[in-house]
Structure 1
Amino acid sequence: MDTLSFGTLIHSIESPKFWTKIYCAVWALRFSAPCMLRLMVHDRTHKLEWELRQREEEIAELQKALSDMQVYLFQERDHVLRLFAENDRLKIQELEDRKRIQHLLSLSSPSGPEVTYFHKEPSTRAIVTQKHPQKRHPHAEGEILGLKAEVPSRPQNNRTRRNAQHRVTANQQQAEPESLLLQIEALQSQMKEQAELSREQTEALLEDRRVRMEEMQTVIERDRSKIHSLNEKLHRTQQMLYDSTKDYLELKYEGRSQERVWMAEKDRLLQELDRCKEQLDVSKDDVLVISDHALEERQTQNLEIEDKTEKLAKRLHLMNQRYEAMEKRRNLEIEGFKNDTRILRNQLKDVEKQLYKVTVGVGEDGDMFMLHNIHQTAKRSKKMQSELLQLKALIYGVETDLRNL
């Protein structure tokens, strides 16, 4: 299994795709993060520039619409002024027509006073003209009756005609200055309104020119700043290109050096692989001999291990028996120690009782006897202490033997 995995590793190292993947991974790790950051910044900047361009186009369209509205406004005002002039002309024409009507009426036969009504708008009601009886001249009755005098009629008609012509001439001479004055006033008002319109139009054109100059100046400044930023971007791009080319050449040189190192490592591994293959090409007989020898050694070792196991089992059984015997002995010694301790306590109590009796019953002459008893009691206590120490030493020895087992 190990040989198969090692061979697979060597085969993957020998393939050119392996080195290509490694080189691409190194290159991606080198330039992936800065490139992603630059792409994000570039996308954000491009989006902002696109929005700014849209706003500028909207502003230009609105300004164009404003200029068109101003032009339309001036055209409408000009049209209104023309209508006013036409209205004035019609009013003057109306006065002239009235005067002509008066003149024509004066040329005709005299009639009674009449009133002329003018409607600003045509009336919806039906108007019925009222006819009055015509006043007749006292000398004109003969015409109706057929009693007309033919001889004196011609001079009278000539005189009437001359008077009418004289009145017409006087009326014309009087009407011409009035109409001229009205025309002059209308022309003056028209000139004033035209001058006001021209002044406003000039101001609007100057304002439009100022706005366009400001816009042009803004566009020029923006273009200058854009040219400056583009030059800076160009310099940065050139510097980045220089750095990228430099890094690319360095990485290419490092890649070639690493490739040489990898090729050397590959040759070494191939040589080691050949040596391993040579070592694996051992004859089958040698392998069988070695396997038989190893089997015999293993059987021998198994026999030795079984013997040692039996000996250790016997020794363990013996040690267990000894341990049980020592445990019984220890229990017996502990029991005896307890009995001796109980006996010694009883003896100590008896001695205390005797001492008490001696101290109570013996008088001044019994001091020597009491001292003799005290010495004997002290000897007994020393003897008991020595026996206790021996028992403790024996117990400690038994515990040490048990620990060693």
Structure 2
Amino acid sequence: MQVYLFQEKEQVLRLYSENDRLKLREMEDRKKIQQLLTLLGRDEGEVTVLPRPAETQEHDDISSTGTEKSTLKPSANGEDPGNSERYQKDDETLLLQVKALQAQIEEQTRLAKEQVEALLEDRRIQMEEAEVRHQRDQDKIKTVTEKLHKTQNLLYESTRDFLQLRFSARANEKAWMAEKDSLLRKLGKDLDHLVFSTESGKKKQRELKKMLQENDGDSKVHSREIKLLQDKLIQEKNLSHMYREQCVSLEGEVARIREERDAGKELFKERSGKLEKRLKLMTQRCEALEKRRSLEVEGFKNDIKQLQQKMKGVEKHIYKVALNLGPDQDLAILREVRQGNKLTRTVLIFLKASAILPLRSLTM
């Protein structure tokens, strides 16, 4: 949006400069027509105002030299007031041109400064956005890292509990097996010494059955405990597998966030480099405009000095020509006046023909 705005401002400045140039051209054309009318002795209302080409000025000045005596008289100090007024208008025109160019250069400089400020503001905003994005990524990485540490701690604790339960189950199983073996050996020895025919043998047999039933009850209890421990072991395995999957997913997310951070850094560096290049280019343009402005001002000053010197030379030449004219040259002057009138008519016809195209181009 700012680029379009700057383009519109540049277009407006170009239109202003074109308007100033056309106004100055119109003033020059009016001044030249006024000079022709002054030389011919006509009123301004009798002739249509048209723009005049620059290449016919020198020929008209030479052809109208003989008519200056009849229309203008030299002043007391030998200077022509018409020429003085004309050169004064030239000076005013040049001063107006200088002012217009100075205004254009100031507008261009102001526009360049605005562009530089806008570029600096864009760079600052992008740097702030990059810092905020970087801080957000750092916070996210920190949060994910904390979750990963917590998950690793939980996995470590669950693995430790699982191993402890497993070791205790194995120890209980070994103790139960040892007790069972000892009971079986004792039972075998008792069976060898028992006498089943006697009452004491029957009594011992009943005691033995009772002992075996008690041992069976203990074995069932131990088997249930073993089954519970196996179920817990399966649950611990499932939990460890789930925690391992969560750790893998979190590590992938951390890697993705780091890649995004690296890509953001590269993009920020690239944009910063482009903005620095544009800033350097705009600075060079401003310096070139300042240098051009100083050179144009110096050139216009030199042109004004040269025009002033030419004006003094032309005034001296007119004074000498006016002094050299005698009373016997009236007929020659009249002939020259008539020739000047004819030449003026042809020039006006030529101006009418040549002014059609510029007027059409301006209206279009």
Pair member with larger Rg: 1
TM-score, length of structure 2 as denominator length: 0.36
* Greater relative contact order (CA < 8 Å, ≥ 6 in sequence): 2
TM-score, length of structure 1 as denominator length: 0.33
